[in-house]
């Protein structure tokens, strides 16, 4: 019975508590050591380089680890239920230390549409991971708990700024391709695996522990998913998201997806991005009775598009995302010197919004990861693969440019390794490029070039109250004065976690 209480000790360290944040490095190092999941360290030994944890005992250890993490995530979800301010983080000052505004952290932070996934991303940061580990882990979590907006069938765009090199890299799933009539080829697993393989720090299987556990043991339906089910209906979504009588699951109900958990377990063993995608593609082809495409688009990592501005340099994703359109709009607006349009154009508030999901991670050194993904519309094609538990998108070969995707990073100076970094990513806005242009122009107007060029960046605060047009969501992250900052519009739309 004594041994059974050990996961409780581990769980008590997971939620952010003011008492855990201290200026003393010794205390911070002790916290990190306790939270590192030791069983996964065997992945780095020569015995296990071929992948997986071989042997009966290793599988038992892995099973116990999944159970412990599952209990941790379940308890965390129950703690978030009915807590009006818990998702925004505690604002009480640490005993004996200085206090911070909500969303300001010493080391790193992550913000996403689901509290469970923000918490999982924070766990990865505390375990020694970087912003890529946290962002990819949270994205895989969202693929489980927010199937209306994203998933393994979604298309992904990303933007990563590496503070150590000063380089910004764009991530793309590749051009949309049709798997079957009206059904898009899934691209999430190879895309996220490629990003992690290039820039991640923790072992790839470690990132899939939490999402796999949520899919296997169950997750609580949150308000955004419950609302999407009511609006969309359950046709094609049962039994995954329905009660026995066919009615949709409501907020607080528990959903499981064991087929998706099995796919994630297979993907955890994939040594390359191609094999990570093949683990899903072969099963989908069997479900649909089609041949696996002989040539599929491959995800890519390439230098980000950029635009110099007086306040620094802007980075975004290339075509066919909306990134080039965003830079063209910004350049034209800055050249004209016209006043910022306010209020937002009416058509931005009335157009039909694509369903998409966004998240952002940042550390105090200035590394930033922005990820945005989409199934094209709510629940995508609403075609649920029975053997994989994956909802396929209806983003097919003839789909238009990804107008929902244009993550943006502003770095104060390429020559200054300690310059402030600002990241913006939006979702749910029908014309993201115009909405982001409006937001960034307001930010630049609050930070004149003379200040950016002649004042030390530590004296210039990031935008405290970002704004966006339409009914969408805007996430803002920043590295400023050796602290990580996170915020969102609407203010309480997206839970954040940090340490």
Residue 296 belongs to some domain of the structure: yes
Is the pLDDT score of 59 beyond 70? no
Residue 57 belongs to some domain of the structure: no
| Nearest of 125, 184, 174 to residue 153 by alpha carbon | 184
Can you tell me whether residue 343 is helix, strand or coil? Answer: coil
Is the pLDDT score of 153 beyond 80? yes
What pLDDT was estimated at residue 378?
92
Residue 433 belongs to some domain of the structure: yes
Q: What would the pLDDT profile of 249-290 be if each residue is shown by its tens digit?
A: 999 999 999 999 999 999 999 999 888 888 799 999 999 999
Residue 399 belongs to some domain of the structure: yes
What pLDDT was estimated at residue 436?
82
Q: What percent of the chain has pLDDT over 70?
A: 69
Question: For residue 419, which phi and psi values (nearest 5 degrees)?
Answer: -65, 150
Range of the domain at 216: 104-344+354-446+467-498
CA distances to 127, 202, 232, 403 from 189, rounded to whole Å, are 22, 17, 26, 22
Q: What would the pLDDT profile of 127-138 be if each residue is shown by its tens digit?
A: 999 999 999 999
Residue 434 belongs to some domain of the structure: yes
Contacts for 375-379: CB closer than 8 Å, 24+ residues apart: 375/148, 375/149, 375/150, 375/151, 375/153, 375/154, 376/184, 378/148, 378/149, 378/228, 378/231, 378/232, 379/147, 379/148, 379/228, 379/232, 379/236, 379/237, 379/355
Residue 42 belongs to some domain of the structure: no
Q: What would the pLDDT profile of 101-110 be if each residue is shown by its tens digit?
A: 788 999 999 9
Residue 26 belongs to some domain of the structure: no
Note whether 105 and 498 are within 8 A (CB).
Answer: yes
In total, how many domains does the chain have?
A: 1
Residue 15 belongs to some domain of the structure: no
Is the pLDDT score of 368 beyond 90? yes
Strand stretches in 250-395, DSSP E: 254-255, 300-303, 305-309, 312-316, 355-363, 368-376, 383-384, 391-392
Q: What would the pLDDT profile of 13-57 be if each residue is shown by its tens digit?
A: 333 333 333 333 333 333 333 222 332 333 343 333 334 444 555
Can you tell me whether residue 25 is helix, strand or coil? Answer: helix
If you count them, how many residues does the chain have?
499
What pLDDT was estimated at residue 417?
61
Note whether 35 and 15 are within 8 A (CB).
Answer: no
């Amino acid at each position: 019975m004594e041994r059974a209480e050990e996961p409780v000790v581990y769980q008590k360290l997971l939620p952010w508590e003011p008492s855990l944040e201290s200026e003393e490095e010794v205390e911070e190092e002790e916290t990190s050591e306790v939270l590192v999941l030791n069983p996964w360290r065997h992945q780095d030994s020569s015995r296990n380089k071929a992948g997986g944890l071989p042997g009966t005992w290793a599988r038992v250890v892995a099973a116990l680890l999944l159970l412990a993490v599952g209990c941790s995530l379940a308890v965390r979800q129950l703690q978030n239920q009915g807590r009006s301010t818990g998702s925004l983080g505690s604002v009480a000052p640490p005993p004996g230390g200085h206090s911070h505004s909500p969303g300001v952290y010493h080391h790193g932070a992550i913000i996403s549409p689901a509290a469970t996934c923000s918490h999982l991303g924070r766990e990865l940061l505390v375990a020694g991971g970087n912003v890529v580990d946290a962002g990819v882990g949270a994205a895989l979590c969202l693929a489980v708990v927010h199937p209306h907006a994203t998933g393994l069938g979604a298309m992904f765009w990303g933007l990563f700024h590496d503070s150590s090199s000063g380089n910004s890299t764009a991530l793309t799933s590749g051009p949309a391709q049709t798997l079957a009539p009206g059904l898009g080829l899934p691209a999430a697993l190879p895309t996220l695996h490629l990003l992690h393989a290039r820039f991640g720090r923790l072992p790839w299987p470690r990132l899939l522990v939490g999402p796999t556990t949520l899919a296997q043991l169950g997750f609580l339906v949150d308000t955004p998913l419950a609302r999407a089910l009511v609006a969309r209906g359950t046709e094609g979504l049962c039994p995954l998201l329905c009660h026995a009588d066919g009615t949709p699951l409501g907020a607080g109900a528990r959903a499981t997806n064991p087929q998706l958990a099995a796919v994630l377990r297979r993907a955890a063993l994939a040594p390359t991005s191609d094999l990570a995608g093949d683990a899903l593609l072969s099963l989908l082809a069997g479900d649909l009775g089609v041949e696996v495409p002989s040539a599929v688009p491959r995800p890519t990592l390439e230098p980000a598009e950029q635009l110099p501005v007086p306040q620094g340099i802007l980075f975004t994703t290339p075509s066919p995302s909306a990134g080039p359109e965003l830079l063209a709009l910004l350049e034209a607006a800055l050249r004209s010197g016209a006043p910022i349009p306010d209020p937002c154009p009416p058509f931005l508030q009335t157009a039909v919004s694509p369903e998409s999901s966004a998240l952002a991670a940042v550390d105090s050194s200035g590394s930033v990861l922005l990820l945005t993904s989409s199934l094209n519309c709510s629940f995508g094609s609403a075609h649920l693969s029975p053997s994989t538990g994956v909802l396929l998108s209806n983003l097919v070969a003839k789909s238009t440019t990804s107008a929902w995707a244009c993550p943006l990073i502003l770095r104060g100076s390429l020559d200054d390794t300690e310059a402030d970094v600002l990241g913006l990513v939006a979702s749910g806005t029908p014309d993201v490029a115009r909405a982001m242009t409006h937001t960034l122009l307001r930010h630049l107007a609050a930070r004149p070039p003379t200040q950016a060029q002649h004042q030390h960046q530590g004296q210039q605060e990031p935008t405290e109250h970002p704004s966006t047009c339409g009914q969408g969501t805007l996430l803002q992250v920043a590295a400023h004065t050796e602290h990580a900052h996170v915020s969102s519009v609407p203010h309480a739309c997206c839970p954040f976690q940090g340490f």
